[in-house]
Amino acid sequence: MISERPSPGPGSLELISGGRPYRIVDLRTSAGGALERLPYVLRILLENVARCGGADAPHAVQAIRDWAATGRSEADIPFQPARLLMHDTTCGPALVDIAAMRSTLAEAGEDPRRLSPVLPIDISTDHSIAVDAFATPDALAYNMRREMERNAERYRLMKWATNALAGVRVHPPGTGIMHTLNLERLATVVCLSERDGTPWAIPDTMLGTDSHTPMINGIGVLGWGVGGLEAESVCFGMPAVIRVPDVVGVRLTGRLQPGVTATDLALTLCERLRRLELADRFLEFFGPGVASLAAGERAVVANMAPEFGASCAFFPVDEQVLRYLRDTGRSAAHARLVEDYARRQALWLEPEAAPRYTETLDFDLDRVGVSLAGPRRPQDRIDAGATVAALAPLLAGRSAARSHAQPHDGAVAIAAITSCTNTSDPRLLIAAGVLSRKARQLGLAPRPWVKTSLAPGSPTAVRYLQRAGLLADLEALGFAIVGFGCTTCIGNSGPLTPAIESAMGARGIVPVAVLSGNRNFPGRVHPRLEAAFLGSPPLVVAFALAGDVNRNILTDPLGHTAAGVPVRLADIWPTGPEIDAALAQARDPRDYPEAYDQAERSAPWEALDAADSALFPWDEASTYLRRPPFTAFGATTRLGSFRAHPLLVLGDDVTTDHISPAGAIPGHSAAADYLTAKGENPHDLNVFAARRGNWEVMIRGLFTNRSVRNLLGPAVPPGSTIHAGSGDELPLWRAAQRYAAEGTPLVIVAGERYGMGSSRDWAAKGVALLGVRAVLALSFERIHRSNLIGMGVVPLRLPAEWPSTRLALAPDDIIQIDAPAGQIKPRGRVRVCIERKSGNIAFDAALAVETTSEVEVLAAGGILPLILARAV
């Protein structure tokens, strides 16, 4: 039970469930007769503002009622989630910030404990494990040992947080991927909250510092991804302030055809939805087709909300959700409470209900086919058999060959069953297991150059795969478990096989990855791989057997039996009844609590020594944890009227991966030079994601992804720029130092969808550390826009007629921006005058600031200065 912060009580009712009384918000009265016209997500937001809105509640309640009349709103409302979820690489920088701000408070003579979280925070330890070993019986133990060796220092900080910060709970390595953990263990759908000694039943709501947080929408829990900075402000009691969202209703009809998986559905929806403008919008699924999807399948779809371009992708509660709760070991009494609450509060899905939506679209489940997405973007869905044509543009006219002896262009370098998206639904892993069994029986094996791996999101997977007898089949084909974490999905795929490395080196081949992940930007899966196809776990196994993507996987042979008989996908593809039978054999709800309890009792974690003090004991020699410059008193706003030089000019689709890499720190890089100068082993520098507690490392990695082109000079290498005046070509962090010494403000200019991809706040922190005052882009991805504001950097939308490519900027050009603090308003206009060698221009840019709270954050110089100011 969580304890609520005091606020004037809303009108309430009594709900009796299982013979016990609970108070609940009188939602029908709050809605003023509009309850059934509201989308389900707005019913939940209405409950939240009525209960937690405090003095803002009347205005916020009215704003939601008004929404029902038009389907749109310009009003801001506060949102107070019941809990926060973070992972080890996003919590790291947040905990470093909190530890540093506590030190700052103590040095100023204040009590550091004034900075303590006011709501529960769960932290997963999933993003750091790498696939060093694979396809061997001891791969899991080896990879987990290496993970602890590499990350012990960061993990000590996390353990310190459990001692020093109330409500912080860390789930140690081995307890799975955050979103699976959330689905299977943390989420309650309806939770209990105590107010003045009375138990209230309330919707389970949450925010997570990860863009795939909406996966929990699959079981009727409202939550979405936020940046680490926004999470820090929420954990210290500030509400997340959002505009009452547009809600796009997706009306599902029909049902998935036999042989079609939830992965295929998610990729097909991604292709369709990404064409719409969904930034800052909520999606909600309704209609008769919803009931045909099991909760696990809905979660696969909801997971990909960020790839759809939306904030969340919500499925209301119904019988499928109750079944999921019971199947994952939740008590019958709790499932009853969820049902009673949802029915009483009109949160129960009625298949024929048609609430008002901002916009609706129809989607026929019958028309989904077996699919892949790639080779470079998740929205580029193709029929599974169309990989040859999809890869052709990357091969620059060379034709790919098939060979059983050695890898060629199109060879599968990595075949990874990975990611929360596609390893949380047991049906998908069971399907991969059934396909493996059939392939094994026919004598097929993966090609020797393929790096195979299985990294389930849940430790429970071992139990159900074993009970169904399928783990041995997967292991026999190289898909032994390598870890319970993000692994290949986040780019911790480890080294490629020697055969692939040597073929790339000697013959320059272009290999690919095939994975059950959700993102495939060049370099995401592995820094040396430009192409990756996303697909369901059984398809991943099939491509490992084929060894390349140079065939129609649906019709061409994958291999041959010992007798030389060709084996095609149809010969081994799992049928619905086969999967159902294996699932029936595999399932036991007791597995869930038992597997997690066992994983939580982690001996290496218990053995980790961590300080038990209000202040974190900083170690000056640490190369992982250093107090960042932005956690001191004395921050100033970046608003104002100023004349800046362009530090970088970029094109479209610059992702947060491009801005701040997460993967391995290259041996020949400025970050590596810094670390080796500090005495680190040049052959074991770890990944950038693990170094986010050290700003010196992170600043040296900014924009070094080789796909990033700085348009200020065609020959400028990634991560560099041309210094105005001198014309010197310098690494960005060096140029920033020189500009700072000269007192020259800087801006970054970019194209469409700037900051798409992961939620990482370092993409904004790094830009702020470079001294950038404003980013001008044609459009921003939602979380990154929020992170920029969190760091005090002003986001401005360029007018459509002036894309970054047409501005033709040179390093010496001057960009004058007039955005004085005190005069700017949400979505206001900001005058931009550019003095160019090629001719001066001027236009109004749109301030990409949505709420008055965001204006307040910019005026304070960022969220951290605001938190510090409120703590004294």
Spatial neighbors of 649 by CB under 8 A, at least 6 apart, are: 710, 711, 712, 748, 749, 750, 804, 807, 809
Query: Is 159:499 a contact under the CB 8 Å cutoff?
Result: no
Q: Which is nearer to ligand SF4, 432 or 490 (CB)?
A: 490
Q: How far is it, in rounded angstroms, from Cα 541 to Cα 445?
A: 10
Residue with tokens 């089949």: 473
CB 64, min distance to ligand SF4, A: 31
CB 486, min distance to ligand SF4, A: 3
Give the C-alpha distances (Å, rounded to integers) separating 86 from 455, 493, 767, 834, 837: 20, 22, 22, 41, 47
Q: Which is nearer to ligand SF4, 205 or 423 (CB)?
A: 423
Q: Which is nearer to ligand SF4, 436 or 759 (CB)?
A: 759
Q: Which is nearer to ligand SF4, 223 or 517 (CB)?
A: 517
Q: Which is nearer to ligand SF4, 419 or 704 (CB)?
A: 419
CA angle (420, 342, 59) in 5-degree steps: 95
Q: How far is it, in rounded angstroms, from Cα 369 to Cα 263?
A: 10
Residue in 220, 214, 276, 216 with CA at minimum distance from that of residue 248? 276
Residue in 511, 498, 481 with CA at minimum distance from that of residue 414? 511
CB 215, min distance to ligand SF4, A: 8
Q: Which is nearer to ligand SF4, 306 or 329 (CB)?
A: 306
Residue in 266, 340, 332 with CA at minimum distance from that of residue 298? 266
Q: How far is it, in rounded angstroms, from Cα 86 to Cα 124?
A: 6
Residue with tokens 């990409």: 848
CB 225, min distance to ligand SF4, A: 10
Q: Which is nearer to ligand SF4, 53 or 517 (CB)?
A: 517
Q: How far is it, in rounded angstroms, from Cα 431 to Cα 423?
A: 11
Core vs surface per residue 656-666: b (16+ CB within 10 A) or e: bbbbbbbbbbb
Q: Which is nearer to ligand SF4, 104 or 758 (CB)?
A: 758
CB 531, min distance to ligand SF4, A: 18
Q: Which is nearer to ligand SF4, 80 or 518 (CB)?
A: 518
CB 760, min distance to ligand SF4, A: 11
CB 515, min distance to ligand SF4, A: 10
Which contiguous run of DSSP H or E holds residue 49?
helix 40-52
Residue in 705, 669, 708, 702 with CA at minimum distance from that of residue 685? 669
Q: Which is nearer to ligand SF4, 103 or 128 (CB)?
A: 128
Query: Is 675:622 a contact under the CB 8 Å cutoff?
Result: no
CB 457, min distance to ligand SF4, A: 7
CB 176, min distance to ligand SF4, A: 10
Using the Cα atoms of residue 34, residue 35, residue 36 and residue 40 in order, give the sign of their dihedral. positive
Give the three-state DSSP class for 866: helix
Residue 730 — φ and ψ, nearest 5°? -135, 150
CB 128, min distance to ligand SF4, A: 11
Q: Which is nearer to ligand SF4, 460 or 631 (CB)?
A: 460
CB 736, min distance to ligand SF4, A: 29
Count the Cβ atoms, other than its own, within 10 Å of residue 412.
28
Q: How far is it, in rounded angstroms, from Cα 669 to Cα 700?
A: 8
Spatial neighbors of 83 by CB under 8 A, at least 6 apart, are: 2, 119, 120, 121, 122, 186, 204, 205, 206
CB 1, min distance to ligand SF4, A: 28
Q: Which is nearer to ligand SF4, 517 or 693 (CB)?
A: 517
Residue 38, exposed/middle/buried by CB under 10 A (0-12, 13-18, 19+)? Answer: buried
Q: Which is nearer to ligand SF4, 103 or 209 (CB)?
A: 209
347: Cα separation from own chain's centroid: 27
Q: Which is nearer to ligand SF4, 450 or 534 (CB)?
A: 534
Which residues of this protein are in contact with ligand SF4, per CB under 6 A? Answer: 127, 177-179, 210, 212, 419-420, 486, 489-490, 517-518
Annotate 377-405 with three-state secondary structure: CCCCEEECCCHHHHHHHHHCCCCCCCCCC
CB 788, min distance to ligand SF4, A: 21
Query: Is 632:108 a contact under the CB 8 Å cutoff?
Result: no
CB 484, min distance to ligand SF4, A: 11
